[in-house]
């Protein structure tokens, strides 16, 4: 039985209080292929009430019990991996194999890392005659995006379960089907009723109701900076904790000593991964002035190898972007790059010639980009790379940091000591030196308008905990 038109509340699949259906669009074809229900404040109230009831007991479960729950979730998650991959691929356009290996795979990695963390995490510590206790914060509202949906669901739900919190999840209404399957996984894994609740809906209705709800103790939000500000404002009246992972405009500094061909090629791949729809994508490539044209040539060659096509087509490396809204925004920014005088090296406006339907963006590279251009300042969220020349490494570091964002920075250098010195000066939550492999144990989050708080591993777990000091705990009678 399909649960697409239902919500998961208090351990059961339930119909919405007020029916309100929304089509789910396949960005490869622009056709509707499913429908979901959009929730209301009344649905949020039901879900929060269930989570509040469940918290009274779940908060006091032993870590071993929560560990067992997480392991059961992982077992069912693995069993449903192909279903999850197909849902993600159809709803947000990730190529089929990438959806399975990366989109679904990263979710499994987060859950497995949380099991590893929970096995040794210390929730209690004696300090002198006092006891320091880390306790679950309470009922948490989780709002997740469409670009890496399972990544964000698992790196919020995993630590929330490990902490002993109960929760209400609102996934993106653009990519909701993977979340419905995830709720089925939770149900099959036997997570106690009310601990996990799912209500689909949009930000202005369900998101607002969650963020402003007096019985929600914390909001964990991933999405745009604009939407994150609205969540924070809605949460302010109840003084709840707000954890945000927001936008980015990450710089990739290529030092003069690098193998330029290799560094540029990997930089293009990093920018174009997931069709450029990653908040930490290295979208600004800073290269030495005297090697700028050479770098542009390598970037053109790399970009031309990115085959754009439907998510289910063999050989597709770049699927469509997620929606008409995103497509239009990206096209506007590409045109702005041309109008403001950047050199178009590859790609450009419009769809690839052979594709007349679907939200396809050409793999685009600009060179001679200056710091004042829109494509150097605004988050594009598409397969668009800006190459920016610099005179000195000092100037490159200054330009890299001269942004309202601070999610990630990238440094490529043969001299590792110089790379480390530059990393120390980057104003970002993450710095990646010489394209390292992804690490689920590294804290993830941003400085400045890229958010606050950290996700992944023990850093994510800590954000779902309150700290209580009990004085006199070891006092003599």
In the predicted structure, residue 437 carries a pLDDT above the cut 70:
yes
Residue identified by tokens 């001269």 is 402
Determine which one of 91, 165, 173, 245 is catalytic.
245
Is residue 279 part of the annotated active site? The answer reads yes
Q: Is 165 a catalytic residue?
A: no
Q: Please, which pLDDT band fits residue 429 given cuts at 50, 70 and 90?
A: very high
User: Which of 91, 165, 279, 378 is flagged as catalytic?
Assistant: 279
pLDDT in tens, 96-125: 999 999 999 999 999 999 999 999 999 999
Residue 381: predicted pLDDT = 98
Instruction: Please name which of 216, 214, 191 lies closest in space to residue 61, comparing C-alpha atoms.
Output: 191
- % residues pLDDT > 90 (the chain): 99
User: What is the Cα–Cα distance from 173 to 26, expressed in whole angstroms?
Assistant: 13
Do 181 and 150 contact (CB within 8 A), yes or no? no
**In which band, very low, low, confident or very high, does the pLDDT at 1 lie, cut at 50, 70 and 90?**
confident
Q: Per residue in 181-236, pLDDT tens?
A: 999 999 999 999 999 999 999 999 999 999 999 999 999 999 999 999 999 999 99
Q: Is pLDDT above 60 for 476? A: no
* pLDDT at residue 475, as a whole number: 64
Structure tokens at 396: 């490159």
Query: pLDDT at residue 273 above 80?
Result: yes
Residue 256: both structure tokens together? 């003069």
Average pLDDT score over residue span 453-466? 98
Where does the pLDDT of residue 477 fall: very low under 50, low under 70, confident under 90, or very high at 90 and above? very low
Task: Judge contact between 172 and 198, C-beta under 8 A.
Answer: no
Q: Which domains does the chain show, CATH number per domain?
A: 7-246+450-470 (3.40.605.10), 250-439 (3.40.309.10)
By CB neighbour count within 10 A (0-12 exposed, 13-18 middle, 19+ buried), where does 243 fall?
A: buried
């Amino acid at each position: 039985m399909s649960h697409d038109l239902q919500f998961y509340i208090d351990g059961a699949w339930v119909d919405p209080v007020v029916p309100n259906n929304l089509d789910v669009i396949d960005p490869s074809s622009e056709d509707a292929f499913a429908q979901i229900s959009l929730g209301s404040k009344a649905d949020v109230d039901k879900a929060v009430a269930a989570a509040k009831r469940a918290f009274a007991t779940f908060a006091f479960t032993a870590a071993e019990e929560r560990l067992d729950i997480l392991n059961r979730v992982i077992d069912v998650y693995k069993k449903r991996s192909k279903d999850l991959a197909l849902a993600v691929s159809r709803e947000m356009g990730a190529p089929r194999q990438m959806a399975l290996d990366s989109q679904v795979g990263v979710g499994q990695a987060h859950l497995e890392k949380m099991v590893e963390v929970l096995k040794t995490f210390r929730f209690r510590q004696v300090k002198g005659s006092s006891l320091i206790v880390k306790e679950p914060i309470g009922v948490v509202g989780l709002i997740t995006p469409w670009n890496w949906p399972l990544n964000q669901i698992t790196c919020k739900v995993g630590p929330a379960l490990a902490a002993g919190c109960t929760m209400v999840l609102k996934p993106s209404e653009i990519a909701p089907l993977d979340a419905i399957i995830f709720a089925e996984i939770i149900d099959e894994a036997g997570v106690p009723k009310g601990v996990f609740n799912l209500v689909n809906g949009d930000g202005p209705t369900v998101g607002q109701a969650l963020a402003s709800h007096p019985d929600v103790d914390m909001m964990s939000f991933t999405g745009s900076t604009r939407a994150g500000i609205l969540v924070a404002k809605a949460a302010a009246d109840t003084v709840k904790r707000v954890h945000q992972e927001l936008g980015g405009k990450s710089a990739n500094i290529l030092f003069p000593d690098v193998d330029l061909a290799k560094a540029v090629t990997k930089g293009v791949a990093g920018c174009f991964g997931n069709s450029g729809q990653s908040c930490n994508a290295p979208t600004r490539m800073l290269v030495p002035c005297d090697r700028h044209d050479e770098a542009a040539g390598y970037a053109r060659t790399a970009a031309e190898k990115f085959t754009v096509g439907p998510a289910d087509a063999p050989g597709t490396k770049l699927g469509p972007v997620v929606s008409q809204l995103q497509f239009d925004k990206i096209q506007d920014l590409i045109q702005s790059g041309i109008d403001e005088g950047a050199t178009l090296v590859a790609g450009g406006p419009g769809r690839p010639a052979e594709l007349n339907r679907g939200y396809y963006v050409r793999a685009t590279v600009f060179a001679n980009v200056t710091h004042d251009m829109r494509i150097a300042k605004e988050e594009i969220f598409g397969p668009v790379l800006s190459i920016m020349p610099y005179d000195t490494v000092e100037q490159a570091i200054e330009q890299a940091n001269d942004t309202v964002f601070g999610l990630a920075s990238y440094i490529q250098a043969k001299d590792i000591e110089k790379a480390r010195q530059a990393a120390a000066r980057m104003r970002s939550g993450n710095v990646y030196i010489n394209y390292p492999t992804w690490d689920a144990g590294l804290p993830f989050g941003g400085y400045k308008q890229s958010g606050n708080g950290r996700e992944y591993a023990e850093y994510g777990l800590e954000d779902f905990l309150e700290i209580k000091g009990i004085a006199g705990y070891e006092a003599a009678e």
